[in-house]
Amino acid sequence: MFDRFLRERETLITEYRLTEEEQRALLETDFRSLYEMGVHSLLLGPLAATLGVSFPDYLAILRGNQT
């Protein structure tokens, strides 16, 4: 499913009952919002790495100190 998320994110999220805020966070890959919504950092980390976000930048995003 991870590959599908990367390839067809918009189609995939329509298959789930998500709020508009959740949909936006997923479409924009808003790690901070997803984390605040309760997505565990160990699930978000591999996605961030796959998308080219460095580990220090990822931690800064979760802390609210975006670079």
Is-contact 50 32, C-beta < 8 A?
A: no
Instruction: Report the number of distinct structural domains present in the chain.
Output: 1
Q: What is the span of the domain harbouring residue 16?
A: 2-63
Measured CA to CA, the distance from residue 25 to residue 30 in angstroms comes to 5
Please report which confidence band the pLDDT of residue 65 belongs to, taking 50, 70 and 90 as the band edges: confident
Note the pLDDT tens digit of each residue in 7-31.
999 999 999 999 999 999 999 999 9
Dist. CA 50–CA 67, nearest whole Å = 18
